């Protein structure tokens, strides 16, 4: 198969993998927030979120992760010189971090399927941004590739992560203020 077809398929499955990771954590947040609802809404919502999570996780997210990896290995097999490029080694470390993130989401998914809630909606909102930071890092690394630019790019990713976390805290304050005003 032509390298560009393999590359296109790799990119497509990376996109669907990230889409699944972004949405699964949103579903986790909704399921945790449903814990505060009264019956029968709590039961209905939590069961619906479990079903949606199961379909998303096993029909989209896991297959996309596997297929993205297969096409990535295929590209590296066809072009092994990429493994001698410093930017590729840094990118692969971020991909490893993405798999750790995916594994952690698997653990949260399994807990929530058993009605074990260990994380607040706020902590899950923060957790949701980890995939965003990894996505930015990988895209900048693949796009820039030069040694000095990717170093600045990685530094920028950390700054971006800090800004995201500050925005999440601001969002939490705004939500708390709005809910307090509604109670008045």
| Cβ-Cβ contacts under 8 Å for 139 (sequence gap 6 or more) | none
Q: DSSP class of residue 56?
A: I
Smallest CA-to-CA distance from 131 within 59, 36, 65 is with 65
Give the Cα separation of 53 and 171 in Å (integer). 25
**Token pair 């692969």: residue:** 92
For the full predicted model, state whether its pTM sits above 0.85: no
Say how far apart CA 4 and CA 71 lie, in whole Å.
11
Task: Find out whether 91 is annotated in a ligand binding site.
Answer: yes
What is the structure's pLDDT at 149?
63
Measure the CA–CA gap between 40 and 95, rounded to whole angstroms. Answer: 41
Question: According to the model, what pLDDT value does residue 146 have?
Answer: 64
Per-residue pLDDT, 141:
81
Quote the percentage of the chain above a pLDDT of 70: 92
42 is in an annotated binding site: no
* Residue 148: pLDDT over 60: no
Distances (CA, A) of 61 to 53, 104, 119, 122: 10, 13, 21, 23
Residues 20-51 pLDDT 10s: 999 999 999 999 999 888 899 989 999 999 99
Instruction: Give the helix ranges, DSSP H, for the chain.
Output: 3-34, 41-55, 62-78, 86-113, 121-144, 147-183
Mean of the pLDDT values across residues 114-123?
Answer: 92
54-98 pLDDT per residue, tens: 999 999 999 999 999 999 999 999 999 888 888 888 889 999 999
């Amino acid at each position: 198969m032509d390298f560009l077809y393999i590359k296109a398929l790799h990119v497509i499955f990376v996109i669907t993998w990230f889409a699944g990771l972004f949405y699964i954590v949103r579903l986790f947040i909704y399921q945790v927030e449903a814990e505060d609802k009264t019956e029968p809404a709590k039961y209905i919502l939590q069961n619906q979120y479990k079903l949606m999570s199961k379909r998303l996780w096993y029909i989209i997210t896991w297959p996309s992760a596997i297929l993205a990896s297969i096409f990535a290995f295929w590209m590296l097999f066809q072009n092994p010189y990429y493994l001698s490029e410093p930017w590729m080694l840094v990118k692969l470390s971020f991909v490893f971090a993405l798999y750790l993130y995916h594994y952690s989401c698997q653990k949260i998914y399994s807990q929530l399927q058993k009605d074990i809630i260990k994380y607040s909606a706020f902590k899950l909102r923060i957790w949701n941004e980890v995939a965003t930071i990894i996505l930015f890092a990988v895209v900048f690394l693949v796009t820039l590739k030069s040694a000095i630019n990717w170093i600045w790019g990685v530094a920028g990713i950390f700054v971006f992560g800090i800004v995201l976390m500050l925005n999440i805290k601001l969002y939490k304050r705004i939500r708390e203020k709005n809910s307090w005003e509604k109670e008045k």
